[in-house]
Chain A
């Protein structure tokens, strides 16, 4: 049961080969583009590596880079094959190469599709990674004298100013941690002592935020401290004030930024996937059509081309069998000998 049989007269074969040659060079450029997009995404993720707890999300750009490089090779060979296809003398030398070539190409094309799906599916993983990373960043904000953490303050300040956000979920996260180091607290002052005593963990908590949360678009000078105390500031209502500091949380801001980036890249890679798929399908048709011509005297006869000789399931098993025997998951030889020994005595 042949899959997708099509008739190919000589002229159609010629046109197919020419079109395929052009298409494969376009696909090569597209492969290079995929690689570049993967590099871009990886660079952007690495820039904010300090606020990400794990690097699980890096699998998306890594896959894109691998697929980009592989498609360069795949399309290079595709152009070479279709150049030789119409020449009856040169086409047979590709005979043994084509079966593994198609297997590898299908694998990488499917991998491209997987990369796109992953970029949407890993939003949750990215979000939890950012949640943990930002929590640590805010917690170690004050530790500018501890080696390994001394740049956390800078990173968080720069992040909040660049992405116009404050805190993890929102600015109230700053109320729950001590972000002013003990080095700058006057322990002889009663106010400081009271504040530390009122807290179970002995931390100096304030209802204030760092200056990087301040919104430059606010019409009034920034109110950073005593945010929840309406009477501490003239003409100020904490509930309705929304221009004073950034109200958005940094996790939300970063997730939106990266999802936007990955959506754009995903759309581009999807079109490249379709292009690559069409290259492989056309090459398969060309190959099967030319194989029917081999050995015949008149090379200009009409032949049939098809996608798969047998059904889909049978073809898949045919390709997987050598892989499985290689991995020793199926011990065919042993079964055969056991059958012989049992039947021999009888």
Chain B
């Protein structure tokens, strides 16, 4: 009892082969698109790798790149096969390869699906990486004289300007770290010494933020220093003021940006997966209908195409038993203590009739 049996006349088979040829070439193009999307994501992640802690998130773009390349190769091969399938003599060339090809493509489409799901699951790892990374970057903001960290100030400033954000969760993160280097603090001044002493770790903390936190859309000139001190500025209320600085935290801003990219890529990969699956189904039908046609012997005859010859359970059983016997063929027969030289009489002997039958008498006429 075959699964999803469909009758195929000769013209239908030819049309199917031609359509599949075109679809395979379209799939090559989608494979290239996947590859370039993976490359784009890799570049975007690398651009901000200073702001991300050492988490392994590069596996997502690497997976996309690999999947894209393999899709190109598989669909290129599929296109060649389908092109040859129109002619039944050429099909004989590919007859033995087709079934393994279909099995490989089936597992490959599973990989594509896994790739799509990974795009969506990257969200949480990315958030953690950004949280740690931004915290580190803000801590080393002042270290513009240390090799390896001297560009962090520039990176954080341009990030805050470009993404219109301030700090890790919000602008108050800047109050908790010393972002002004000791090189620019006048240690002889009383005010500086008092501030350093008031802190347990001897850090110069202030309720001020760097200039890159300033909101361009604010109607008044930017208030960067003494932000929590309402009396220090005229007509200023710290609690209600929301246009002076960027209110969004940079972690959230970057996460939104990357999530948006990931969702678009994930959607594209899902559509590619559905497309690949439909192409695979078509190739399977083509293979089975051509094989049945060969079995019948007449190239112009009508043949059946199906997805599976027997029902799903039977096919699974037969495949499992094949896999089991593959394992068994390596085992030595332990019946005669493992010695293969002893003659074991065959139990299923062919019957040629009883023994000791005299030969037939010659004809009496002779």
Which residues of A line the B interface, CB within 8 A? 144-145, 150, 153-154, 157-158, 161, 179-181, 183-186, 189, 210-212, 214, 216-222, 224, 233-235
Contacts and interface: CB of A to CB of B under 8 A. Distances in A.
B180 A144 contact: no
B51 to A, nearest CB: 15
Nearest to B219: A144
Which of B145, B157, B180 counts the most chain A CB atoms within 10 A?
A: B157
B234 A211 contact: no
A28 to B, nearest CB: 30
A214 B211 contact: yes
Q: Interface of chain A, helix or strand or loop or mixed? A: loop
Contact of A216 (B157, B180, B185): B157
Interface in B149-208: 150, 153-154, 157-158, 161, 179-181, 183-186
B30 interface: no
Given A183-B220, A184-B235, A220 B144 contact: yes
Contacts of B27: none
B212 interface: yes
B273 to A, nearest CB: 38
Contact of B158 (A145, A189, A216, A224): A216
Contacts of B217: 154
B224 interface: yes
Contact of A158 (B210, B214, B216): B216
Nearest to B236: A184
B186 A219 contact: no
Interface of B: 144-145, 150, 153-154, 157-158, 161, 179-181, 183-186, 210-212, 214, 216-217, 219-222, 224, 233-235
A219 B220 contact: no
Nearest to A179: B221
A185 B220 CA distance: 11
23 contacts: A150-B219, A154-B216, A181-B219, A183-B220, A183-B235, A184-B221, A184-B233, A186-B235, A189-B234, A210-B221, A211-B211, A212-B216, A214-B212, A216-B153, A216-B157, A218-B153, A219-B145, A219-B181, A220-B181, A221-B180, A221-B210, A221-B211, A233-B184
A234 B185 contact: yes
Contacts of B234: 184-186, 189
Contacts of B150: 219
A145 B219 CA distance: 8
Instruction: List the 9 closest pairs (A to B, CB-CB), nearest first.
Output: A216-B157, A219-B144, A186-B234, A144-B219, A234-B186, A222-B211, A214-B211, A211-B211, A211-B214
Given A184-B233, A186-B235, 19 more contacts: A144-B219, A153-B219, A158-B216, A161-B216, A179-B221, A180-B221, A181-B219, A183-B220, A210-B221, A211-B214, A211-B224, A212-B216, A216-B161, A219-B144, A220-B144, A220-B180, A224-B211, A234-B185, A235-B183
B78 to A, nearest CB: 37
Contact of B154 (A145, A158, A217): A217
A218 B144 CA distance: 9
A216 B214 contact: no
A180 to B, nearest CB: 5
Contact of B184 (A181, A189, A234): A234
A64 B41 CA distance: 39
